[in-house]
Amino acid sequence: MADKPQKGEILGVPYNFERPSLGRMLSSYWKPGQKMLVKKPFGVGYTLNLANWRSWIVVAVVAVLLWQERSSSAPGSDLEDDDDEDDGPVEVIVD
């Protein structure tokens, strides 16, 4: 029986299931002169190239959004201070 290929592309999406090494992992996330997205060192798809300045903008935006989400859902936030708001069922009558 023929061996299945360990890396390649399916419908334009790269895959790589070769055993990862530390050198290959580190070199795949830092590729100066390449685009923002590069092939993943292990798995399916693409990952961020941290040598590209656009990737750092993406990381910063994600960090700000996560911080904002966690700070707004924290106990005692402004959204939960409404005592008038009832979380019970609401009856809607339509004529």
Say what the pLDDT of residue 85 is.
Answer: 65
C-beta separation of 38 from 28 below 8 A: yes
What's the pLDDT score for residue 77? 53
Domain ranges of the chain: 7-74
Residue 41 tokens read as 């060192």
pLDDT for 4? 81
Q: In whole angstroms, give the CA distance from residue 56 to residue 12.
A: 25
Q: Are 32 and 51 in contact (CB under 8 A)?
A: yes
Q: Residue 56: what pLDDT?
A: 95
pLDDT, position 76: 60
Q: Which ranges of the chain have pLDDT less than 50?
A: 79
Please report the pLDDT score of residue 78 as a whole number: 54
The residue count for the chain: 95
Distance CA 48, CA 36 (A): 6
